[in-house]
């Protein structure tokens, strides 16, 4: 009954539905008038033929003829009566079998079904809904972000401008609601003043409108918005965005930083307070050929070698692992310790390597700009559309799979190929092509969707950066504050209360890495933080530990030790 009332209310509140309902009622009134008229004429003609019947009989005859039931128990004998019967029959066919069913379906049944559908797509969240994340678009970034929000217990809702879009998401198990994105009332109904964050990743101008509208209602709400240009970023910041995502720039900067340039300097990729996480290549250093145990990197610099990258996958450090020219370290240390590492192991390339960028879209152009700023290599870029690369003198116009185009781009001298087109299928094909062309290429590939990362790695890519993962990681970092950090390639720094089973024990005795795949990189107790605790460090009885690992390793730790996730409650957003 409650659902019936809500559906009827929804129909009556809609102006078009109310108009359709009135039209249906008018049609029924006309039909009723015809029944009365035909019943009266029935009596007149029957009297003309010398018969008399009750008024109920007249109504009965009219309804049987109009509905084509035609029982035949009451009939006319004159031509006038039979002609009249034909008129009544035709009228019944038109009204009862054609016009009335069509009108009923169009004006009543269809609105009823739409109202039922809208009842499944809420337009308002409960009053007690707090600390939720409001998303305005279900795109690749949101698809990667939602599982993370569920994992860490953050409620969310995807705000859709149409009922059809909301219902489609609901059918896939994604929580959604309906509302106009430019209407302040929509955000009041979404309890925006009680939300933990608003994320808008639609068109730049839509994002500006959403940001400005929500900011007026919630002055202190963290708002993350995506932008496609520097001008749009400025507009969004003026509209009130807390953090503006320039994913193309982030992707370009990260791709530029990943090329093999025989430069062993540690390049910062994230930080946790004073503890910095960096990458460094072993190419050209005296470390090549040694094992991690004999390299004594930690004793000489204070830097902790967390692990090494292997085709985009983090492999935790093994003391007996042999360091090769292709080894890429993942390091943790303070700013001073990393400076010591650079001073101890820095090498520079004897000549600038050549890098070939395939794709001159926004990511490709951003990668080109960052490589030119680094000034560590020679860069060529291949693009089919000349308008995209009109301002790039090194641009080659053509198809990257054609040999003449590759010759113009000096691909023979290239050591690294960066594939940046926005189409994942194209990137897979190009990865296969360049891997077959030369096995020694370092191939870096951009993926829009997470699900295509594994395919590109199988196709021969040395490293794949996911557009969706990068955006979702950054949003989660802003949401969870400075104590939680998701780095590139799925490396995750997260806090946990010290479990009773660990309290008071030496780090070496805990065997956290062997059991879970995580590594302890910091310990905090009574306001004091110890970075990079050594194997002989004894954990305090109370406090927090900070661990680093991939997402699977984090899952194993959380299942094994079940730490109190209250340490991960929302904190004020930090500027990244």
pLDDT in 10s for each residue of the chain, 576 residues = 444 455 455 555 555 556 666 777 787 888 888 889 989 999 888 888 888 888 899 889 988 888 888 777 888 888 888 899 889 888 888 877 777 777 777 766 666 666 666 666 788 999 999 999 999 999 999 998 999 898 878 999 999 998 889 988 988 989 999 999 999 999 999 999 999 999 999 999 999 999 999 999 999 999 999 998 889 999 999 999 999 999 999 899 888 877 765 456 787 777 777 788 888 888 778 888 899 889 888 888 888 888 887 666 777 778 888 888 778 888 888 888 888 988 888 765 567 889 999 999 999 999 999 999 888 789 999 999 999 999 998 899 999 999 999 999 999 999 899 999 999 999 999 999 999 999 889 899 999 888 898 899 999 998 888 888 888 888 988 887 655 666 655 667 888 888 888 889 998 888 888 888 888 888 988 878 888 888 889 999 989 898 888 777 888 887 887 654 444 444 444 333
Quick one: which H or E segment has residue 332? strand 328-333
Contact 135, 159 (CB under 8 A): yes
Contacts of 314 (CB under 8 A, 6+ apart): 306, 307, 308, 330, 489, 490, 491, 549, 550
3-state SS, residue 204: helix
Contact 108, 101 (CB under 8 A): no
> In this predicted structure, what is the pLDDT of residue 380?
93
Contacts of 485 (CB under 8 A, 6+ apart): 270, 271, 272, 277, 477, 492, 493, 494
Backbone phi, psi, residue 333, to 5°: 180, 170
CA distance 439 to 326: 14
Longest dimension (CA), the chain: 124
Residue with tokens 């900067």: 253
Backbone phi, psi, residue 371, to 5°: -65, -40
End-to-end CA distance of the chain: 52
Q: How many CB atoms lie within 10 A of CB 342?
A: 18
**DSSP β-bridge partners for residue 245:** 226
Contact 262, 353 (CB under 8 A): yes
> In this predicted structure, what is the pLDDT of residue 212?
96
| pTM, two decimal places | 0.70
> In this predicted structure, what is the pLDDT of residue 160?
93
CA distance 93 to 95: 6
Burial of 341 (0-12, 13-18, 19+ CB in 10 A): buried
CA distance 152 to 563: 12
Backbone phi, psi, residue 572, to 5°: -55, 140
One CATH from 3.40.640.10, 3.30.70.1450, 3.30.540.10, 3.40.718.10 for 491-568? 3.30.70.1450
2-120, CATH topology level: Helix Hairpins (1.10.287)
Give the residue from 468, 474, 563, 476 showing the smallest Cα distance to 512: 563
E strand residue ranges, 196-327: 197-200, 223-226, 243-245, 267-272, 275-281, 304-310, 313-316
Backbone phi, psi, residue 126, to 5°: -60, 150
Contact 214, 197 (CB under 8 A): no
CA distance 152 to 551: 12
Cα–Cα–Cα angle for 525, 526, 532, rounded to 5 degrees: 30
Residue 188: which region, alpha, beta or left (left: phi > 0; alpha: psi -120 to 50)? alpha
E strand residue ranges, 5-92: none
DSSP conformation letters of 425-493:
HHHHHHHHHHHHH-TT-EEEEEESSGGGHHHHHHHT-SEEEEHHHHHHHHHHHHHH-TT-EE-GGG-EE
CA distance 456 to 451: 10
Contact 354, 378 (CB under 8 A): yes
* Residue 467: both structure tokens together: 């557009």
One CATH from 3.30.70.1450, 3.40.605.10, 3.60.15.10, 3.40.1190.20 for 262-345? 3.30.70.1450
Q: How far is CA 379 from CA 14, 356, 363, 515, 546, in A?
A: 60, 6, 15, 44, 40
CA distance 35 to 10: 33
Quick one: which H or E segment has residue 207? helix 204-217
3-state SS, residue 50: coil
**Alpha-helix residue ranges (DSSP H) falling in 278-423:** 292-295, 297-301, 335-345, 362-374, 403-408
Q: Where in the chain is the domain with CATH 3.40.50.720?
A: 133-245, 354-468
3-state SS, residue 311: coil
Give the residue from 482, 495, 488, 542 showing the smallest Cα distance to 521: 495
Contacts of 188 (CB under 8 A, 6+ apart): 217
Quick one: which H or E segment has residue 500? none
> In this predicted structure, what is the pLDDT of residue 574?
37
Q: What is the CATH number of domain 354-468?
A: 3.40.50.720
**DSSP β-bridge partners for residue 268:** 278
Q: Where in the chain is the domain with CATH 3.30.70.1450?
A: 262-345, 491-568
One CATH from 3.30.750.24, 3.40.50.720, 3.40.50.2020, 3.30.360.10 for 133-245? 3.40.50.720
């Amino acid at each position: 009954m409650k659902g019936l009332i809500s559906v009827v209310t929804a129909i009556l509140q809609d102006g078009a539905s109310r108009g359709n309902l009135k039209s249906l009622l008018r049609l029924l009134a006309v039909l009723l008038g015809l029944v009365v008229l035909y019943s009266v004429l029935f009596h007149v003609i029957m009297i003309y033929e010398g018969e008399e019947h009750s008024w109920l009989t007249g109504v009965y005859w009219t309804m049987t003829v109009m509905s084509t039931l035609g029982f035949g128990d009451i009939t006319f004998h004159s031509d006038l009566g039979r002609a009249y019967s034909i008129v009544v029959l035709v009228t019944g066919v038109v009204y009862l079998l054609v016009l009335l069913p069509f009108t009923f379906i169009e004006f009543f049944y269809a609105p009823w079904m739409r109202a039922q559908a809208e009842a499944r797509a809420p337009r308002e969240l409960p009053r007690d809904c707090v600390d939720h994340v409001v998303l305005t678009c279900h795109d690749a970034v949101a698809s990667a972000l939602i599982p993370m929000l569920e994992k860490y217990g953050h409620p969310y809702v995807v705000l859709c401008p149409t009922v059809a879009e909301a219902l489609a998401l609901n059918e896939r198990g994604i929580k959604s609601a309906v509302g106009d994105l430019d209407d302040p009332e929509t955000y009041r109904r979404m309890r925006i003043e009680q939300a933990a964050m608003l994320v808008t990743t639609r068109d730049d101008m839509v994002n500006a409108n959403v940001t400005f509208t929500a900011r007026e209602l919630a002055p202190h709400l963290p708002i993350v918005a995506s932008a496609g240009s520097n001008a749009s970023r400025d507009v969004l910041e003026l509209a009130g965005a807390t953090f503006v995502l320039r994913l193309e720039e982030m992707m370009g900067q990260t791709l530029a930083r990943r090329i093999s340039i025989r430069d062993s300097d540690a390049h910062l990729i994230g930080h946790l307070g004073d503890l910095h996480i960096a990458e460094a290549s072993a190419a050209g250093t005296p470390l090549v050929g040694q094992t991690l145990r004999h390299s004594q990197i930690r004793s000489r610099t204070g830097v902790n070698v967390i692990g090494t990258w292997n085709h985009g996958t983090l492999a935790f450090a093994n003391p007996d692992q042999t360091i090769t020219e292709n080894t890429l370290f993942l390091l943790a240390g303070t700013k001073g310790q990393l400076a010591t590492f650079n001073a101890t192991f820095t090498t520079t390339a004897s000549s600038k390597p050549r890098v070939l960028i395939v794709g001159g879209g926004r990511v490709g152009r951003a990668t080109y700009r960052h490589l030119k700023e680094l000034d560590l290599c020679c860069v060529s870029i291949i693009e089919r559309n000349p308008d995209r690369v009109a301002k790039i003198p090194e641009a080659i116009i053509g198809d990257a799979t054609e040999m003449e185009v590759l010759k113009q781009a000096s691909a023979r001298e290239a050591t690294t190929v960066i594939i940046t087109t926005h189409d994942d299928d194209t990137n897979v094909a190009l990865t296969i092509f360049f891997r077959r062309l030369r096995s020694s290429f370092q191939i870096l590939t951009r993926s829009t969707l997470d699900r295509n990362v594994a395919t590109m790695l199988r196709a021969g890519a040395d490293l794949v950066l996911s557009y969706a993962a990068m955006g979702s990681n950054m949003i989660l970092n802003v949401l969870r504050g400075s104590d939680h950090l998701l780095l590139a390639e799925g490396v995750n720094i997260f806090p946990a209360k010290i479990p009773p089973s660990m309290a008071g024990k030496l780090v070496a005795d805990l065997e956290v890495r062997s059991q879970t795949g995580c590594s302890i990189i910091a310990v905090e107790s009574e306001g004091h933080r110890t970075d990079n605790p050594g194997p002989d460090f004894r954990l305090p009885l109370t406090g927090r530990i900070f661990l680093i690992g991939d997402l699977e390793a984090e899952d194993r730790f959380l299942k094994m030790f079940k730490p109190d996730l209250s340490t991960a409650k929302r904190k004020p957003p930090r500027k990244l």
